[in-house]
Amino acid sequence: MEVGQIIDLYKEKGLYDKTLFVLAADHGMGEVNNHVTLDNIINDMRFNSFQSLKWKVIPAWGSFEANFYVGTKYKFNKEYNAVALWGGNSDALIYLKGQKKDSNGRVVFESWDIKPTDDDLKSYSVGGDKINVISRLFEYSPGIGLVFTNPEKSVFNVYSADGQGQIREREQNGKLEFSYNIIKGKDPLGYADSSAIAPYLSKKIFLTDEQWINLTYLTHYPDAIRRISYSFENENSATLNIVAKDDWDFAPWYVAKNVLSGSHGNLNAQQSSVPIMFHGPGVKQIEMPFARTVDILPTILAYFDRAATGTQGKVLPIFADKNKEKSVINTISYKNGESFVCGKTNYYLESIYGSYDKRLVKTDGNEKTVIIDSLKNKFITLNKKVNLTAIIKTVDCSSKIVFQEEYIAENKLGNELIYDLK
């Protein structure tokens, strides 16, 4: 109702047709009915943990009274060996001291400056015993969904109770690329269950983040590859990142019981998906299959012809001006799918980040030519549904390219479309 009143006010003042409106949210929300208290997990593993936030009363809705206790440097150096930080209810960061051991496996030194590897975590000395911290988390509660670690530079492990996957990151031609494969058991992210994604896992193929989000945005854990790897990009990142299983969070039971029925912080689609809408002069009507919230700022800057220097994200293809739109597409298009070779000529489709549309490209040596800049404009039938695009079915080098309609998220193909090469 309030948004409608704001829009009415803009119209009343004659500003509606002169204003760029952007509607978005910072996160989704998921229903939660089960809770596991983060501090209990750490304490029951016998860590001496600094508690960054202690609830001193059972709060009424909206009060969230808390007693902040600031630990001294001495306590951090001499007493504490763990810090657990509660995120958006359904995610948490766990920092553990690294341990230096002698030849007999006895701890001779502990320090926050030592980063524990996965092998260290699987034989961690605490409370007079050696424990596997990772497996103990899953044993503690069915509410633990995923555990992430960063055992070495550009390597990120993804654990569930049933399996382990591994993300690897590299820089290629100035762009970051990621591979993901299954180390053992079931795929924690569920990507291996998709016939479209599984081949990239089994062959350990590196893909750009545009390609990964294009493959995964409709899965249970959309865009997880980039989000997991980026969560460890700071030198002060946690030892372990954990997210709750669906329908669970890490809120203390006495808080959750009284005031919390929803949560965020999980990587699942329910808690990750938000609306992003643009409206204003110069914005064309288009429905985008996916985008990231970090794309909003560079898109706004591009709208006002300002450089997006120092920002993350990509400019989205929302512009009615054809020259401006073409300039944007040239920076966010990416090869996705098969190539067809005719002598020295290579034909392939380029996807356009944040769009159901594609364009047909050919390369001849080092020369690249866009043959069809928009399949949706070339083949009007592709506009009968928003989520309709096309794939290349066959190429007859002497005469034609045969496309086939592809209904995204419906797992079906449609009619053939012919492009004359003559």
405 confidence band (pLDDT: 50, 70, 90): very high
Tell me the per-residue pLDDT of 132-188, one tens digit each, with 9 for 90 and over: 999 999 999 999 999 999 999 999 999 999 999 999 999 998 889 999 999 999 999
Q: Pick the last residue of a domain from 320, 351, 379.
A: 320
Residue 366 lies in a domain: yes
Percent of the chain with pLDDT over 70: 93
Asked if the model's pLDDT at residue 59 lies above 60, the reply is no
* DSSP E strand stretches across 162-260: 163-172, 175-185, 207-208, 240-244, 248-249
8 confidence band (pLDDT: 50, 70, 90): very high
Residue 169: how many other CB atoms lie within 10 Å: 19
How far is residue 29's CA from residue 23's CA, in Å, rounded to a whole number?
Answer: 17
Look-up: residue for tokens 């970051």?
Answer: 176
How much is the pLDDT for 262? 83
Tell me the per-residue pLDDT of 70-81, one tens digit each, with 9 for 90 and over: 456 777 788 889
Query: Are 251 and 295 contained in the same domain?
Result: no
Domain enclosing residue 305, as ranges: 2-23+274-320
Query: Are 73 and 209 contained in the same domain?
Result: yes
How far is residue 401's CA from residue 422's CA, in Å, rounded to a whole number?
Answer: 10
Query: Are 177 and 286 contained in the same domain?
Result: no
Q: What is the mean pLDDT of the chain?
A: 90
Residue 328 lies in a domain: no
Query: Are 346 and 301 contained in the same domain?
Result: no
What backbone torsions phi and psi does residue 162 show, to the nearest 5 degrees? Answer: -110, -5
**Long-range contacts of 154-157, Cβ-Cβ distance < 8 Å, separation of 24 or more:** 156/228, 156/229, 156/232, 157/118, 157/183
Q: Pick the last residue of a domain from 257, 291, 320.
A: 320
| pTM for this model (two decimals) | 0.89
> DSSP character for 347?
E
Query: Are 122 and 220 contained in the same domain?
Result: yes
Percent of the chain with pLDDT over 90: 72
What the block records as the tokens of 126 is 């605490």
Query: Are 253 and 105 contained in the same domain?
Result: yes
Residue 296 lies in a domain: yes
Query: Are 349 and 366 contained in the same domain?
Result: yes
What the block records as the tokens of 203 is 């062959």
Distance of CA 187 to the CA centre of its chain: 17
Query: Are 155 and 246 contained in the same domain?
Result: yes
How far is residue 315's CA from residue 276's CA, in Å, rounded to a whole number?
Answer: 13
Tell me the per-residue pLDDT of 328-363, one tens digit each, with 9 for 90 and over: 999 999 988 789 999 889 999 999 999 999 999 999
- Residues 270/290, Cβ–Cβ less than 8 Å: no
69 confidence band (pLDDT: 50, 70, 90): very low
For the residues 83-105, what does the mean pLDDT come to? 90
Question: Based on the structure, what is the number of domains in the chain?
Answer: 3
Query: Are 177 and 250 contained in the same domain?
Result: yes
Residue 338: how many other CB atoms lie within 10 Å: 11
Asked if the model's pLDDT at residue 26 lies above 70, the reply is yes
Residue 325 lies in a domain: no
How much is the pLDDT for 53? 53
Within 8 A by CB and 6+ apart from 411, the residues are none
Distance of CA 52 to the CA centre of its chain: 27
Residue 281: how many other CB atoms lie within 10 Å: 11
52 confidence band (pLDDT: 50, 70, 90): low
Residue 38 lies in a domain: yes
Separation in Å, CA 27 to CA 2, 88, 228, 292, 301? 20, 10, 16, 11, 22
Residue 30, SS3?
strand
Query: Are 298 and 240 contained in the same domain?
Result: no
Query: Are 120 and 261 contained in the same domain?
Result: yes
Asked if the model's pLDDT at residue 56 lies above 50, the reply is no
How far is residue 16's CA from residue 280's CA, in Å, rounded to a whole number?
Answer: 8
